[in-house]
Structure 1
Amino acid sequence: MDESLIPNIVDFIGQIDPFDQLPAPVLKDVASCTSITYLGRGEQIEFGDDNTEKYLYIIRTGSMEQRRPDGVLRSKMGEEDLFGFTFLEPLKNALDGYKATAIENTLLYKVPHSKLLKLTKQYPQFSESISAGAQLRLRSALNVVWSNKEKGLFLKKVSEVARGQAAVVDIDMSIQDVAKEMRNACRSSTAIIKQDGKIVGLITDRDMTKRVIADGMDISLPIKAVMTTPAITIDPDDLILKAASLMMQYNIRSLPVVRGNDVLGLLTSSHLVQKHRMQAIFLIEKIKYTDTPEGLAELTSERQAIFEALVEGRVDSEIIGQVMAMIMDGYNRRLLQMAEEQFGAPPCDYNWIVAGSHARNEVHMLSDQDSAIILQEGATEADKAYFQQLSEFVTHHMDACGYPNCTGHYMASNPKWCQTLSVWKECYRKWVTNPQYGMLMNVSVFLEVRSLHGNAELSESLQNHLHSLINEDNQFLPSLVNDAVRTQPPLGIFNKLVLEKSGNNTRVLNIKKYALTLIVDLARIYGLAVGCSKTGTRERFEFAVEQKLLNEDDFKDVIEAFYFLTQLRFNHQLSALRQGLQPNNHMEPSAISSFERKHLKDAFRIISNMQEAAKLRFSSK
């Protein structure tokens, strides 16, 4: 190496992640063993030969493309991009044999594999950033830019805080025996009541005082005579914020922590002694006691402030989505209550369901309304007229509160999406058995729904019907896959990430269309394939792993990509809000740093690999 070239190499690689994390003397040492090579247009580097020296390649000038052995594009790369991660450690599932081709005259820096191995042992942060595992690089990117060490009590999971125990008793036990079990077994303030292994109710020590002692109730009667039903419970993975909201909503002091019908513990109000205050909890409380739609609309600025605080506070993107979904739930429920107060009690049973990002608990500042109503059988035209009034009231005022109407009119105020359960089931049957493009557009919106208000048994029955239809039809999932992979991540991008024109006639990256939606679609497909009843993107992938349909490594890859992309979008939205602009999903090239571009390419490759795997897995069904 010509000594005169070393300062130039140090200056260049010292600005590139992860070399910018190394001390100056170490950078100089790396530069001294770095070689330089020149490729003319069309010249190739082939990988996979175990007998040749391995290198990490850094593009100084020019551009390259990588293709898999079957000729499929893996990535395009420009100045400051790195490649050659595959050979930093032995990986059985690595894409050995791929080729890198210069698509214009290109100058490369080559850092020996042996030198990198020494650096990864000395500098753990460098090791994660340069790791052969894409999910580790993405996780490293999140850790560097958005740590989450100070998230506060209300943004912790219930499992991190709950320390109490709940008694578990049978529905046929006497009141006295249940009281003894609560006192003797675990000194618990709460007993969970089961029937045939399923949770059917609960009783607390306060209930015993009010309903048994104060009323002189016969203590030999079965506990079902005084139990509270249904049991209000909390999942261990839910946020403390949600638990506190439930406690306020139902005026209770304790929540059994359950997963399915397994009782894991008890969360009490004493566990929620606040060392940190979280503004979201107070906004939810304000929403609950606001009397007018106009009053709710006035709280919109507080909702935006909470979003900004969460993003600025480096809170995990998953938690931000959950918090914002809880706030949207609060608005939606309060408006439904106001509508029932204004138009009178509902004439029949109904269930207001939400779809899209709202149903997935992945709400952000651009989330619009996706909703529908399921009516009980026998609902009349007069009943439907009532719900038309109710839904128009709710959707209009949700829009005024900052949740825009769905541009595709997938809302409860559209009479098409306010139907009896039997009509809904017939719609699902048509959509699943006739998976043409138009049908898939309808079903894709309502493939993930969540009960928000009313009789949840109606939506549960509809979802069970959907899963039965999918199990009986071997063409639906392949059709869903074919539709989902029509759009592919932009593997061919490099340098300025130029993709499509926005309304301002500038070229931008649509991070929703070309990245996030693709992952959500894949999660939906895998979730439906294993009959997952949950709606969240992570939950669906996790269930597919549990059912052995998806391997653990692929899950880690795709979920880290999802979190990285979501956080990137949140930061893009925050930047717009700070400038007084309307947030959007279109990222200008100038707003995407070299650091972000490198990790975007990791995420795009992961999505592309998942799409290819889904086509292979489901094409024969």
Structure 2
Amino acid sequence: MTLPVDMILHFLRSVHPYDSLAAETLADLCARFQAIPMAKGDPIYAFGEPLSGLYLLYDGEVEVRDATGSPVSLLGPRNSFGERGLIGDGTALTSARATTDGTLLLLPRADFDSLMASEPVFAKFFDRRRNDARRGSDLATSRVKTFMAANPVTCPPDSTVQQAAQTMHDKRISSLCVTEAGGLTGIVTTRDLTGKVLAAGLPCTTPVAEVMTRDPLTLSPAAIGSDVLHAMMEHRIGHIPILQASRLVGIVTQTDLTRFQAVSSAELVRAIAHADSAAEMAGVTAEIPRLLVQLVAGGNRHEIVTRLITDIADTATRRLLKLAETTLGPPPVPYLWLACGSQGRQEQTGVSDQDNCLILDDAVTPEQMPYFAELARFVSDGLDTCGYYYCPGDMMATNPRWCQPLRVWRQYFAGWIARPDPEAQMLASVMFDLRPIGGDRSLFAGLHRDTLQAARRNSIFVAHMIANSLKHTPPLGLLRGFATIRSGEHRNMIDMKLNGVVPVVDLGRIYALTGELTEVNTRARLQAAEAAGALSASGARDLIDAYDLIAETRLAHQLARINAGDAPDNFMPPTVLSDFERSHLRDAFVVVKTMQSSAGQGRGMLS
């Protein structure tokens, strides 16, 4: 297959880091790329085989798996892959196969090496991607506070060894920190109980103070994993209390180290894909907060973190669909399960509800509809069991309104576009974020394309959608402060979802609508809007930078909540930020507000 050089040039100008190369370098590079057609199911390369070069996806989708066969990512247009093998001996460290028909661009190994040696921006980008892929699971350089057990169980020195043993048994732990007058005086472990009490024949009424290890080795939350590893190996211990300003705030055990190293999105995906019930899946999804901590603490960018977490929800949904079909029998007609909301945009964090719907083949009959009602209930109940709570607005496939034949969905979208009343605006905003999860994807392709075309051509609908997108505003107050929530449970806090990321999500949706862009992820929409000319380079750069800061601040807040032993949420008191952080976060909100103002005045597409 041959792609004209001018098409490759236009494409590369929309892909980083090629967009940073000099014009003459980029023009020369275009002739070096090889266009390769791919068909659904085609293997691209296998683990351990020599790589021909760097792959860049022109169109279509590619699934990448690790050495164990676990899925790592599902890539779309503008994504590169294979570089981790090239930065080394050229042997593939993953495997890849096409999941749709499409086209690949292959940059030969020699040209890749030449660019790595001569173009600093190119080298920095691919070195960073390689390091980002490894960094999240790097125990040696992760802070202790990201994997310690917070709020350790304690006992006073006069507790008996029997009481200590009972507490450890009930709590399923292997040690107790011994405290007195608020300070740590020692630690007692199960090994102490067996070696110093049972082996010596001491009575069960012996005080803990007589067998505990006094003044144990401690570390601070700012220590790193290698400090823990070295201390445990040097002193032959398996438990280290964590003190901050002489106050006991946590403990690290060998089990904590093992768990931290073991958790990964790929392992969770693998476990869910083989689960036999929603209850079994729930045991896996319960690990998501720990995965979030590990990914964020490891320095991964927010779009990587949310993509990996969303992959887990996607896998759970597909597994539940399979279990439903096993229970209910084969579906009477083809169907497609779709997600909207944060799952649809691949932007899930540590707290998510479920937003989904079903598109059915037009051949479905009224007699067959109960099957899909049962399937929807089976999957939605299973997702709730897994921690994806029911949508408060009932935007779920269990609602008959959102479980309909394709022809009805076409009527829905046509009606919303023709009569954009407030409810239509709200529903269109949600449904423009639809993404297929499981089933017959052909049921959505034509609907998506036709809806985007019809929506863009209706200037009244576009105007209403723009107005609707401005309802969520950044929390900007007077005198360079923040406008916090004024009353209730979250008084004096910022809603980092509704007033933080949602205003950017709404802008991204508008850019996608006016540019007929098929991307659903917010960051991808902003990048595609710039590439399509719907958003200027400077506007895109400012808005993407602002979005990155807001989204990463939100994730950092959720990480802090989890580390404190609380459930993650979106309500952040600005007082937890330093003056420097507050200043930059406010600047990010100002950028978003400016872009909203431009959109409201009809200038937002070119800001």
In the superposition, the TM-score normalised over structure 2's length comes to 0.59
Partner of 2:127: none
Once the two structures are superposed, residues 453-510 of structure 1 have per-residue CA deviations (whole angstroms, 9 ceiling, x without a partner) of 0110111121112112113311111111111113322332457635223542622211
CA distance in 2, matches of 1:329, 1:199: 19
Aligned to 1:549, which of 534, 545, 566?
A: 534
Contact 1:530 1:547 in 2 (8 A): yes
CA distance in 2, matches of 1:239, 1:253: 10
Partner of 2:582: 597
Q: Does 1:318 align with 2:303?
A: yes
**1:273-284 equivalence runs, <5 A:** 279-284=264-269
Partner of 1:488: 473
Partner of 1:470: 455
Measure how far apart 1:239 and its partner are: 7.7
Aligned to 2:439, which of 442, 454, 463?
A: 454
Partner of 1:577: 562
CA distance in 2, matches of 1:455, 1:573: 36
Partner of 2:103: 261
CA distance in 2, matches of 1:170, 1:486: 44
CA distance in 2, matches of 1:432, 1:388: 28
Q: Cα 1:274–1:545, aligned 2, differ >3 Å: closer, same or farther?
A: closer
Measure how far apart 1:606 and its partner are: 0.4
Once the two structures are superposed, residues 214-252 of structure 1 have per-residue CA deviations (whole angstroms, 9 ceiling, x without a partner) of xxxxxxxxxxxxxxxxxx9865627889x9xxxxxxxx9
Aligned to 1:395, which of 355, 376, 380?
A: 380
Q: Does 1:357 align with 2:342?
A: yes
Q: Cα 1:611–1:169, aligned 2, differ >3 Å: closer, same or farther?
A: closer
CA distance in 2, matches of 1:574, 1:503: 23
Q: Point out the more displaced range, 275-284 or 394-403.
A: 275-284
CA distance in 2, matches of 1:455, 1:477: 30
Q: Does 1:536 align with 2:521?
A: yes
Query: What is the letter of the counterpart of residue 79 of structure 2?
Result: D
Q: Does 1:330 align with 2:315?
A: yes
**Secondary structure of the corresponding residue to residue 264 of structure 1:** strand
Partner of 2:509: 524
CA distance in 1, matches of 2:406, 2:100: 29
Q: Cα 1:258–1:551, aligned 2, differ >3 Å: closer, same or farther?
A: farther
Query: Following TM superposition, where does structure 1 have runs of at least 4 consecutive aligned residues deviating by more than 6 angstroms?
Result: 186-190, 197-201, 238-241, 273-278
Partner of 1:59: none
Q: Cα 1:429–1:399, aligned 2, differ >3 Å: closer, same or farther?
A: same
RMSD: 3.9
Partner of 2:79: 237
Partner of 1:367: 352
**Secondary structure of the corresponding residue to residue 487 of structure 1:** coil
**1:190-229 equivalence runs, <5 A:** none
Measure how far apart 1:168 and its partner are: 4.3
Measure how far apart 1:618 and its partner are: 6.5
Q: Does 1:607 align with 2:592?
A: yes
Query: What is the letter of the counterpart of residue 477 of structure 2?
Result: G
Partner of 1:298: 283
Once the two structures are superposed, residues 108-149 of structure 1 have per-residue CA deviations (whole angstroms, 9 ceiling, x without a partner) of xxxxxxxxxxxxxxxxxxxxxxxxxxxxxxxxxxxxxxxxxx
Q: Gaps (5+ residues) in structure 1?
A: 1-164, 172-177, 202-231, 244-251
Once the two structures are superposed, residues 19-69 of structure 1 have per-residue CA deviations (whole angstroms, 9 ceiling, x without a partner) of xxxxxxxxxxxxxxxxxxxxxxxxxxxxxxxxxxxxxxxxxxxxxxxxxxx
Once the two structures are superposed, residues 325-363 of structure 1 have per-residue CA deviations (whole angstroms, 9 ceiling, x without a partner) of 111111111111111111111110001011111111111
Contact 2:396 2:402 in 1 (8 A): yes
CA distance in 2, matches of 1:200, 1:309: 28
Measure how far apart 1:427 and its partner are: 0.4
Measure how far apart 1:266 and its partner are: 11
Measure how far apart 1:279 and its partner are: 1.7
Query: What is the letter of the counterpart of residue 446 of structure 1?
Result: M
CA distance in 2, matches of 1:344, 1:448: 30
Q: Cα 1:169–1:618, aligned 2, differ >3 Å: closer, same or farther?
A: closer
**Number of residue-to-residue matches in the alignment:** 399
**Secondary structure of the corresponding residue to residue 353 of structure 1:** strand
Query: What is the letter of the counterpart of residue 610 of structure 1?
Result: M
Partner of 2:66: none
Query: What is the letter of the counterpart of residue 279 of structure 1?
Result: S
Measure how far apart 1:301 and its partner are: 2.6
Q: Cα 1:311–1:188, aligned 2, differ >3 Å: closer, same or farther?
A: closer
Partner of 1:445: 430
Contact 2:380 2:398 in 1 (8 A): yes
Identical-pair percentage: 29
Measure how far apart 1:524 and its partner are: 0.4
Q: Which has the higher contact order (CA 8 A, sep 6+)?
A: 1
Contact 1:254 1:266 in 2 (8 A): no
